Amino acid sequence: MSSSPSPASHRTPPFLSSSTSSRQAPTRMSSVTVSRTGPGPGDRRSIDLTVVPDTSVDGTGRIGVQLSPYFRVTRVHPNNLAEATVLALREFTALSATVLDGLRQTFLNFSQTAEKVSGPVAIIAVGAEVARSSAEGLFQFAAVINLNLAAINLLPLPALDGGTLALILLEAARGGQKIPREIEQRIMSSGILVVLMVGMFLIVRDTLNLDFIKDIL
């Protein structure tokens, strides 16, 4: 059984026009006209709304539409230490799997995911947004950051703990024969240089992508 869609359920995106500048007037009431087109040629209607812009991190107002996940948040309060430990381990396992899968996708599709790699500036900006929206989410965000740092630190790259572990395993594979000191220092120095260059690139890129920097430029 099928039914024809009504104008209220039509999915044509609405067009919004604001009579005041929401960017320059945060927290000030703004008049907004929403125009929606229905399924018929003459089904067009406009609705006048009054909204209060949200304040962005840079202090400007913001009006917009965003997609929200469709789920229900359930908070579980453990009754004892054992139950709290089980819940913590379960959350740790889920977050670790998410982090490892994200790193795997990054390395397998680096050309497509390179732009999503963030540095300290972008991480701080995202953390500020999370702190504004939910105090509980800030703890989970901090846990994700720590798990990412731990996973990256274990990569077999020079200047990281994983690189040092790789050199130790290489020495073990050579029957305990140590790598010459000069070669080891060159490997570590080159690794530190690469890490610093990548870090500076991410800091500059993320800084230029900040909203208030874009407005200045």
Q: Is the pLDDT of residue 77 over 80?
A: yes
Share of the chain above pLDDT 70, in %: 76
**Residue 45 tokens, joined:** 């209607």
pLDDT at position 41? 63
Question: Which carries the bigger pLDDT value, residue 183 or residue 115?
Answer: 183
pLDDT at position 71? 62
In residues, how long is the chain? 217
In three-state secondary structure terms, 30 is strand
Q: Which amino acid is at 190?
A: S
Which of 22-36, 40-54, 90-104, 180-194 is predicted with the least confidence, judged by mean pLDDT?
Answer: 22-36
32 contacts 18 by C-beta, under 8 angstroms: yes
Nearest CA to 7 out of 61, 43, 41, 50 is that of: 43
pLDDT at position 23? 53
**Residue 120 tokens, joined:** 């300290």
Compute the distance between CA of residue 109 and CA of residue 8 in angstroms, rounded to an integer. Answer: 41
Q: Is the pLDDT of residue 200 over 80?
A: yes
Q: Is the pLDDT of residue 7 over 60?
A: no
Domain spans of the chain? 118-216
71 contacts 83 by C-beta, under 8 angstroms: no
Compute the distance between CA of residue 185 and CA of residue 187 in angstroms, rounded to an integer. Answer: 5
Nearest CA to 125 out of 216, 54, 212, 195 is that of: 212
Q: Is the pLDDT of residue 1 over 60?
A: no
Nearest CA to 132 out of 209, 26, 27, 56 is that of: 56
Report the pLDDT averaged over residues 127-151: 84
pLDDT at position 89? 92
Report the pLDDT averaged over residues 136-157: 86
> 91's torsion region: left (phi>0), alpha (psi -120 to 50) or beta?
alpha
pTM given for the model: 0.55
215 pLDDT tier (thresholds 50, 70, 90): confident
pLDDT at position 66? 63
Q: Long-range contacts made by residues 11-14, C-beta under 8 angstroms, separation at least 24?
A: 12/36, 12/37, 12/38
Residue for token digits 């359930």? 74
User: Mean pLDDT for the chain?
Assistant: 77
pLDDT at position 59? 66
Q: Long-range contacts made by residues 102-105, C-beta under 8 angstroms, separation at least 24?
A: 103/148, 103/151, 103/152
pLDDT at position 131? 82
85 pLDDT tier (thresholds 50, 70, 90): very high
